[in-house]
Amino acid sequence: MNDNDQTPKTIGPNTQLVRAGYDPFDYHGFINPPTVRASTVLFPDAKTMETHGQKYTYATRGTPTTDALCQAVNELEGAAGTIIVPSGLAAVTLAFLTYLSPGDHALVVDSVYGNVRHFCDTMLSRFGITVEYYDPSVGVAIEALIKPNTKLVHLEAPGSNTFEIQDVPAIAAVARRHGAVVTMDNTWATPLYFRPLDFGVDISIQASTKYPAGHADILLGTISANAEHWKRLRQANGALGICGAADDSYQVLRGLRTMGVRLERHRTSALEIAEWLEKRDDVARVLYPALPSFPGHEIWKRDFKGASGVFSFVLTVEPNQDFKTKAQAFLDGLSLFGLGYSWGGFPSLALHVDLSDRRILQAPDEGPLLRLHIGLEDVADLKADLDSGFRASQK
C-alpha cells in the first residue's frame, strides 16, 4: 500500500475483495498485476547474488503475481502467511506433510474430502503415521481421543457431501491445549463466510479451484498459517518445491474480485431451492446448514456469516426400490445441471454421493443422497430442471 492510501481501517468484505493483495501504483497504475511467467531472476552483481539481497531470487520462491494472490488471501484469512499449491488436494496433503512425522497420530474428521482419506490411508500410513477418524459432532469430547503423540487435528466444516457442522472453537481449543496443530479445510465457506484463524484454527486451507476461481477452469489451492506456524509451512514449501503457476494465480486473484457477488447469488438461489426441495414428498431430507431443520444449524448461525451454494438431499424411494437405479434415473432426467465433479463455478452440477468409505458416519437409509451445486442460472429454470429429474425418477 502506498503512503497516501486512503483505505479506511474497517472496510466491508466486498470492498476488501476489490482491493486485497495488490496496489495498482506498484505497477504503473494498472488495475491488475502483471502475469510474471518466470524461473530465473537476475541479480545485478555477485554480492547481491551471494547474499540473496533482493526481494525475488527464483520463481519457486514467489513472483509479483503469486505474491499478489498470497497477500490477498492473507488479508481475507487474517493470516501471517499463505502458500500456493497446484490443487486443493495438494493444499491438504502438503499441510499434513508439514506438521506430521513418523510415529505421530492425527485425528481427521470422518466427513473429510474423500481424496484426503485416500492420502491418509496410503501415503501417511506408509510413512508410519496413524490416522484416526472422528465424528464431526464430537465437540469438546475430542479430548478423549487425544493421545500423547497426537500432533494434528484436521477439521472440515461443513463436511464433504453430508455437510455436518463442527464446533470449531471447542475442538480447536482442546487440540491446542494438547499441543496439536489444528488444520481446517474451509473450502465450502471461503474466508468470506468463515475465518478459521479467528476461531482458534492454526492453518486454513482452501481449494481455490472452487469459488475463488469461480469458472470451473482452474486448479489451485492455498494454505494460510497463523504467526506461530508460518515459518514451518514456508520451509516445507521450499523443501518440496511445490508451487502455483503464474497464470493460475492471476486467474484466481481475478476471481476473488467478484467472489462476493457470485457467492451472494449462489447463496440466495441455493437457499430458495433447498427450501423448495424440503417441502416435496419425493424428498426425504435436505442437508444444508442454512436450513433451521438441519442438525448443525444453530452452530452454523453462531459462527458462519453465510452459506455457499452446494448441498445434498435424500430422494424418497418406494419400498424395495434400488437406490442407485433411482438416483441415476433422476440424474439422467436433468439437462441444465451437469453431471460432474467439483463445484464453485458458474454452472449448476449434480451427482450421486458415494459414502461407502465412511468409518463412523452412516449413509442415510431413506434413499440415495444427491449433491447439488447451485450455479448462477435463473432459479425458475433450475427448479424446472429438477422437476424433470423427479419425473424421470418416478418412471
Ligand X SMILES: *Cc1c(COP(=O)(O)O)cnc(C)c1O
Instruction: Give contact residues for ligand X (rule: CB under 6 A).
Output: 87-89, 113, 156, 160, 185, 187, 207, 209-210, 219, 221, 342
Nearer of residues 317 and 349 to ligand X, judged by Cβ: 349
Distance from chain centroid for Cα 212: 10
Question: Least distance from C-beta 88 to ligand X, angstroms?
Answer: 2
The residue number whose beta carbon is nearest to ligand X equals: 88
Nearer of residues 221 and 389 to ligand X, judged by Cβ: 221
Question: Least distance from C-beta 90 to ligand X, angstroms?
Answer: 7
Question: Least distance from C-beta 252 to ligand X, angstroms?
Answer: 11
Question: Least distance from C-beta 34 to ligand X, angstroms?
Answer: 25
Question: Least distance from C-beta 323 to ligand X, angstroms?
Answer: 23
Nearer of residues 62 and 212 to ligand X, judged by Cβ: 212
Nearer of residues 17 and 94 to ligand X, judged by Cβ: 94
Residue type, 198: D
Instruction: Kindly state the cell numbers that stand for 376.
Output: 448462477
Among the residues of the chain, which ranges form H helices?
13-19, 46-51, 64-77, 88-99, 114-119, 125-126, 168-177, 190-193, 227-240, 246-278, 297-303, 323-332, 379-394
Residue (of 336, 205, 202, 249) closest to 35 by Cα position: 249
Cα 359 to Cα 366: distance, rounded to the nearest angstrom: 19
Burial class for 274, CB neighbours closer than 10 Å (0-12, 13-18, 19+): buried
Nearer of residues 93 and 393 to ligand X, judged by Cβ: 93
Question: Least distance from C-beta 126 to ligand X, angstroms?
Answer: 21
| 87 Cβ neighbours under 8 A, 6+ residues apart | 207, 209, 219, 220, 221
Q: Which DSSP state fits 40?
A: B
Nearer of residues 22 and 294 to ligand X, judged by Cβ: 294
